[in-house]
Structure 1
Amino acid sequence: MKSHPSALRAAIAAAGCALLLPLAAQAQNIAIVNGKPVPKQRVDNLMTQAAKAGQKVGPEMETQAKDQVVLREIFTQEAERKGLAASADYRAQMELARQSILIRELFDDFRKSHPVAEADAKAEYDKFKAQAAGTEYHARHILVESEDQAKALIAQLKAGASFEELAKKNSKDPGSGEQGGDLDFAKADAYVPEFSQAMVKLKKGEITETPVKTQFGWHVIKLEDTREAQFPSFDDVKAQIVQRLEQIKLQQYQEDLRKAAKTDYKFAQQ
């Protein structure tokens, strides 16, 4: 009796699938270690974590990940062979790791479900920008020990001496002295009151007529220029603002959970 052609084809196809099944399973593994398969998913997980951490993912990293996964399997099998998985220390560390991972997932879930709105980020930006508004002063100074030294320097400056050169030779301020006394642009409140009060009275190019006394010593001040305070654009600082607002939200979430929990424990910081 002749076999039906369609039945024969079906039998051949079934046999082919049966042969391919081990190959398909093998494709899901990157290695066999002491008879135990090492699933490719472990490599994928490492690559995903690396990408989340901002690392550049590529063929070279994948090769390193495979090496790492196989080595981990080898070391893990040896640890299990020695019975280390049953030790109290291992169980304690596993519990801490379990808690840490769950907490991280909880906080990640909160961030995803409570994103920072564009309007909130912009409002925060506007608040900081308003606080930074005002005049910035580009000043130079020469800092010396005594009033007499400062007076002598003022006399030399009036006679035509270079402020920058005198600052390099005489100023005891290591930060600005080497730069000819240059303090760059800053708002008046960046300085101690005595210094800022004398500085804001100057016009561009003017030098203090009398020495200025502060807690640091005696100053001779020159005003180079003034400008409106500079502030970066919203797009330039948006990422930092969003990150800050996310952290504030997360801290509040943690505090809410702490307050809602029923416990007889008294926290050191309430």
Structure 2
Amino acid sequence: MKQYLTLGAAALVLALTLTACGDKNKEGSASKVLVKVNGAVISSDTLEWLLKEQLPPGTPVDEALRSKARDHLIQRETLLQAARKSGLDKDEAVKRRMEYVRDEQLVNAYLKDWMEKNKADDAKLKAEFDKRVAAAGDTEYKARHILVDKEEDAKAIIAKLQKGAKFADLAKASKDTGSAVTGGDLGWARPTTFVPEFAAALATLEKGKFTLEPVKSQFGFHVIQLDDTRKTPGPDFESVKGQLAQGLQQEALQAYIKDLVAKAKVE
């Protein structure tokens, strides 16, 4: 879930600084003293937290790794003391940045907790899977297209095709340079991979036919030819379950945040 730590490594660096700072002078703490740096205590709890935070689950922790983490905390505490001695902790810009990072860590922890408590169950995932499979259909299309900026240019291309010009030859002038070199060929794809206007026009064509009117989309004007169709089995639910769960959770999270902001009193 670390992808939700929106400040990334920089936030974690400052968070670790604050954590190490929190151990200072806790002589009577229940935490075991790992090491003292100029009298400031770094606890063994901090070391364990650092290892858990930074390492993937299940990673074996040997003494060499613990020693490396210990050296890291000693270096950090030494630098922290030097920074305080320099007076930078009183600098307004630095204080504001530290406050921002502190609050950002709380926000990230809250979002992580929310997502843990709001996972989609299998029934909801299966319903969404069936809905998407139905929308995608069981047919793939092998199509070609020529993309131009102006409607009149698209109409001129259609006129040339009606007079016997080869689609692949005319496609060399397409704005879509990726498919232009292959005669406009887009390969096999389901309609849902195309923009709605393109998909709708494609569904009306018979094999070997091209659109008799330009198809307008956000990219320009298309002339489309359908080369072939084929029936294909849909994806297996279990194979996409994880990806689907992640997508639904992200959608739910964004909706939740949007709702919170909408209900907030902003003056």
TM-score if structure 1 supplies the norm length? 0.60
Using the TM superposition, give the Cα deviation of residue 119 of structure 1 relative to its aligned residue in structure 2, in angstroms: 1.4
Hey, what does 2:5 align to over in structure 1?
Answer: none
For residues 103-140 of structure 1, give each alpha carbon's deviation from its aligned partner in whole angstroms, at most 9, with x where no partner exists.
33333333334433221222222222222225432112
> Structure 2 residue aligned with 1:118, among 122, 125, 145?
122
- Between the aligned partners of 1:193 and 1:249, the Cα distance in structure 2 is 28
Q: How is 1:172-251 mapped onto 2 (pairs within 5 angstroms)?
A: 172-184=175-187, 185-187=189-191, 190=194, 197=201, 200-203=204-207, 206-208=208-210, 212-215=213-216, 216=220, 219=223, 221-228=224-231, 231-250=234-253
Hey, what does 2:79 align to over in structure 1?
Answer: 75
Aligned length: 227
- Between the aligned partners of 1:88 and 1:143, the Cα distance in structure 2 is 55
- Between the aligned partners of 1:258 and 1:170, the Cα distance in structure 2 is 48
2:51 equivalent to 1:47: yes
| Larger Rg belongs to | 1
Q: Aligned with 1:41: secondary structure? A: helix
| Contact kept in structure 2, 1:142 and 1:177, CA below 8 Å | yes
Hey, what does 2:113 align to over in structure 1?
Answer: 109
- Between the aligned partners of 1:82 and 1:66, the Cα distance in structure 2 is 24
- Between the aligned partners of 1:126 and 1:259, the Cα distance in structure 2 is 32
| Contact kept in structure 1, 2:201 and 2:215, CA below 8 Å | no
- Equivalent residue letter for 1:118: D
- Equivalent residue letter for 1:71: Q
In structure 2, do the counterparts of structure 1 residues 150 and 116 end up closer, same or farther at CA, with 3 Å as the change threshold? closer
Task: State the identity %.
Answer: 30
TM-score if structure 2 supplies the norm length? 0.61
| Contact kept in structure 1, 2:143 and 2:186, CA below 8 Å | yes
- Between the aligned partners of 2:237 and 2:51, the Cα distance in structure 1 is 33
Q: Aligned with 2:120: secondary structure? A: coil
- Between the aligned partners of 2:161 and 2:258, the Cα distance in structure 1 is 58
| Contact kept in structure 2, 1:167 and 1:178, CA below 8 Å | no
- Between the aligned partners of 1:207 and 1:119, the Cα distance in structure 2 is 42
In structure 2, do the counterparts of structure 1 residues 71 and 132 end up closer, same or farther at CA, with 3 Å as the change threshold? same
* Aligned-CA RMSD value: 4.3
| Contact kept in structure 2, 1:132 and 1:229, CA below 8 Å | no
| Contact kept in structure 2, 1:188 and 1:200, CA below 8 Å | no
- Between the aligned partners of 1:103 and 1:230, the Cα distance in structure 2 is 43
- Equivalent residue letter for 1:179: T
| Contact kept in structure 1, 2:138 and 2:231, CA below 8 Å | yes
| Contact kept in structure 2, 1:195 and 1:212, CA below 8 Å | no
Hey, what does 1:267 align to over in structure 2?
Answer: 266
Q: Aligned with 1:140: secondary structure? A: strand
Using the TM superposition, give the Cα deviation of residue 240 of structure 1 relative to its aligned residue in structure 2, in angstroms: 2.8
- Equivalent residue letter for 2:230: R
Q: Aligned with 2:144: secondary structure? A: strand
Q: Aligned with 2:214: secondary structure? A: strand
For residues 143-164 of structure 1, give each alpha carbon's deviation from its aligned partner in whole angstroms, at most 9, with x where no partner exists.
673655554455555xxx6x54
| Contact kept in structure 2, 1:43 and 1:65, CA below 8 Å | yes
| Contact kept in structure 2, 1:136 and 1:226, CA below 8 Å | yes
